[in-house]
A and B are shown apart, each in its own frame.
Chain A
Amino acid sequence: MRPEKILDVSLSSDRNFQGDNGALRLIIPANERSVRRGLLTIKSGMSNLSLSQEDWSTVELVIAEVLNNIVEHAYSDSESGLIEAHLDYSHDTLQCKVIDTGRSMPNGKLPKGAPKDLTCNIADLPEGGFGWFLIHQLTRDLNYARHSNQNTLSFRLPFASKD
């Protein structure tokens, strides 16, 4: 049995953590359970913002897609890698930077994330490939860079509404 890792998620939020601004830094092992826990940590870390359900659901979905892509593709479920996420947020936007040391994106470029053709028989419906489509749809200023064995993905999420 694998012991629960208590130190899976490290969190520092020592600057600007007042009012509507904040910064979170997370380092998690590259596996799906840690991604799930990391999302909970981000939710509680950003609670000072009082985000609407709508805005939080976008943040949670985009970060989940980005982190799960790294687990599944950059590290291919090897569970040995780490993912580092930097989140800087204010009342109207979240700036996010995610770093890993797994494999490069295919051809060193961001996958396009084209919409899937659904006008087909049920048997031919796609079961995957929605992740990048969602990331492209929901983010602004999406950028990918590969430098010395390190992948950096950055993007911005504008908040639509406040409670």
Chain B
Amino acid sequence: MELNHKDFDNARLVTVCENRIDAVCAIQFKDEMRKLTDEGPRRVVLDMSQVEFLDSSGLGAVVAALKAKKVDQTLELASLQPAVQKVFHLTRMDTVFSIHDNATSAIGDAADAS
């Protein structure tokens, strides 16, 4: 499970460099995300553009990452592919997360706000 990150003004962009978040790598994803939010700024954006498949274990890991963030921190998602979007929509988790069409606009919003 490879997660890259790049820091901008007031926001950290985390990119999932895997095409699946599934039962094989869910726990690792959760642990890596916790490290990246623990030491991250107030706003963390998770770019999921490379993720083609997410199962319920993967969804649980993304929810766990949201729960692990600090109280004054936000974790937002960006660039969900249709198969991933479908899982968020069916489970109504799309009502819990703030979801951006793409990472560039998500980070742009942060720059505008700062």
A interface list, Cβ under 8 A from B: 32-33, 35-36, 53-54, 57-58, 60-61, 64-65, 68, 71-72, 115-116, 118, 122-123, 125-128, 130-131, 133-134, 137-138
Asked if B90 contacts A134 (CB within 8 A), the reply is yes
Say which residue of A57, A115, A126, A130 sits within 8 Å of B86 (CB atoms). Answer: A57
Q: C-beta contact mask, B29-62 vs A, less than 8 Å → 1, else 0?
A: 0000000000000000000000001011101110
Which residue of the partner chain B has the closest CB to A124? B67
- Show 13 residue pairs from A and B whose CB-CB distance is below 8 angstroms, ordered by the A residue: A32-B24, A35-B24, A36-B24, A53-B83, A54-B82, A60-B83, A61-B86, A64-B55, A71-B23, A115-B91, A127-B67, A130-B87, A133-B91
**Chain A residues with CB below 8 A from B64, complex form:** 127
* A131 surroundings in chain B (CB, below 8 A): 55-56
B22 and A134 contacting across the interface, CB-CB below 8 Å = no
Known: A116-B91, A127-B67, A128-B60. A32 touches B55 (CB 8 A): no
By the criterion CB–CB under 8 Å, are A65 and B82 in contact?
A: no
CB <8 Å contact, A68 and B57: yes
Q: Residues of B within 8 Å of A, CB-based: how many?
A: 25
Which residues of B are in contact with A by a Cβ distance under 8 Å?
20, 22-24, 53, 55-57, 59-61, 63-64, 66-67, 82-83, 86-87, 90-93, 95-96
Given that A118-B92, A125-B67 are contacting pairs, would A134 and B56 also be in contact in the complex, using a CB cutoff of 8 Å? yes
> What is the chain A residue whose CB lies nearest that of B69?
A122
CB within 8 Å: A-B pair count: 78
Q: Which residues does chain B contribute within 8 Å of A137, judged by CB atoms?
A: 90
| A126 engages B20 (CB within 8 Å) | no
Are the CB atoms of A118 and B96 closer together than 8 Å?
yes
The smallest C-beta distance from B84 to any residue of chain A, in angstroms, reads: 9
> Cβ of B53 and Cβ of A60 under 8 Å apart?
yes
Q: How long is the Cα–Cα vector from A81 to B53 in the complex, in angstroms?
A: 25
Cα of A71 to Cα of B56 in the assembled complex, Å = 14
A72: shortest Cβ distance to chain B, in Å?
7
Q: How far is the CB of A137 from chain B (nearest CB, A)?
A: 6
In the bound complex, do residue B83 and residue A61 qualify as a contact, i.e. CB atoms below 8 Å apart? yes
Say whether A118 contacts B83, CB under 8 Å: no
19 more CB-based (< 8 A) A-B contacts, given A32-B23, A116-B91, A133-B91: A57-B53, A57-B83, A60-B53, A61-B53, A61-B55, A61-B83, A61-B87, A64-B23, A68-B23, A118-B93, A118-B95, A122-B96, A126-B63, A127-B60, A127-B64, A130-B56, A130-B87, A131-B55, A134-B91
